[in-house]
Amino acid sequence: MFIFNNISSEDMGLIVQELPPISTPEETINKSDVPGGVPILQNCGYGLLEKSCTCHYEGNNPDKLLQWLRGSGKVMFSNLKDRYYKSYIGNKIPLEQILKNKLYKFPVIFTCKPFSYLLGGDIPITITTHTTLCNMKSTHESYPTITIRGKGSATLTINKRTFNITDINGGEIVIISDPDIQQVLNNKGKFMEGEFPYFDVGENEISWTGNITSIEIIPYWRTWI
């Protein structure tokens, strides 16, 4: 079984005969030759993951099936129930063959971003005192959304990395650290100084100075698998 955009394959009459194998993203390596020396290898990122499910259809509304199996969204697989992938469906569903034969096997191919996201990392955590956050399943740095509440200026530190808020304008500042977005909401970017925060693997010590009443954190813990 898989769940795509909060809809289960079972609820759609789609029988999953084979789930994708559990795999990790491939590193993209750039090799630079050094005359008379040892070549330099540089990690340039990670490739997309292609996850294919073998299915057949036993439902009675193929139009609804096709409407569902398109576009992008979160996908969860029943062999890894505690995490999801950011994905899009990268193949055409063979409607004609499905209508002719309900036992016709076809792939649903999800093209996924390199890392999975633990479900627990989507749950907001509110802190009011200096705190250490840690998720033992997280195996790669993670990019949280942080909401700072209070007034005036403040300095926030995560594992000795510091950024400043010059004015908690309107009582709240929302910082999205996702590298694809990196935004301070409601046009409040001018009030933030420094790099966007991220969480390390292991313990993350969070402290601050200034008149902060609370901080809400959605950690979005990431893993290799």
> pLDDT value at position 44?
67
State the Cα–Cα distance between residues 215 and 193, nearest whole angstrom: 17
> pLDDT value at position 34?
62
Q: Where are the alpha helices (DSSP H) in the chain?
A: 62-68, 95-100
Q: What distance, in Å, lies between the first and last C-alpha atoms of the chain?
A: 18
Torsion of CA 40, 43, 44, 49, to 10 degrees: 140
pLDDT in tens, 17-46: 999 999 988 887 776 776 766 666 666 688
Residue keyed to tokens 């530190």? 157
Query: Is the CA virtual torsion 114, 120, 123, 124 positive or negative?
Result: negative
Q: What percent of the chain has pLDDT over 70?
A: 95
Greatest Cα pair distance, the chain, in angstroms, is: 68
- Nearest one of 112, 63, 78 to 9, comparing CA atoms: 78
Backbone φ and ψ for 51, nearest 5 degrees, come out as: -120, 115
User: Average per-residue pLDDT in the chain?
Assistant: 94
Residue 3 has pLDDT above 90, yes or no: yes
Domains in the chain: boundaries? 2-118, 123-223
Element (DSSP H or E) covering residue 124: none
pLDDT in tens, 103-143: 889 999 999 999 999 999 999 999 999 999 999 999 999 99
Residue 76 has pLDDT above 80, yes or no: yes
Residues 6+ apart with CB under 8 A from 26: 46, 47
> pLDDT value at position 37?
64
Residue 53 neighbours by CB distance under 10 Å: 21
Residue 57 has pLDDT above 90, yes or no: yes
Query: Helices H, strands E: what count in the chain?
Result: 2, 18
Residues 6+ apart with CB under 8 A from 123: 218
In degrees, to the nearest 5, what angle opens at C-alpha 21 toward C-alphas 98 and 5? 60
Q: What percent of the chain has pLDDT over 90?
A: 81
Contact 210, 154 (CB under 8 A): yes
Q: Which CATH class is domain 2-118?
A: mainly beta
Residue 78 has pLDDT above 80, yes or no: yes
Architecture of domain 123-223: Sandwich (2.60)
75 or 63, which is more confident? 75
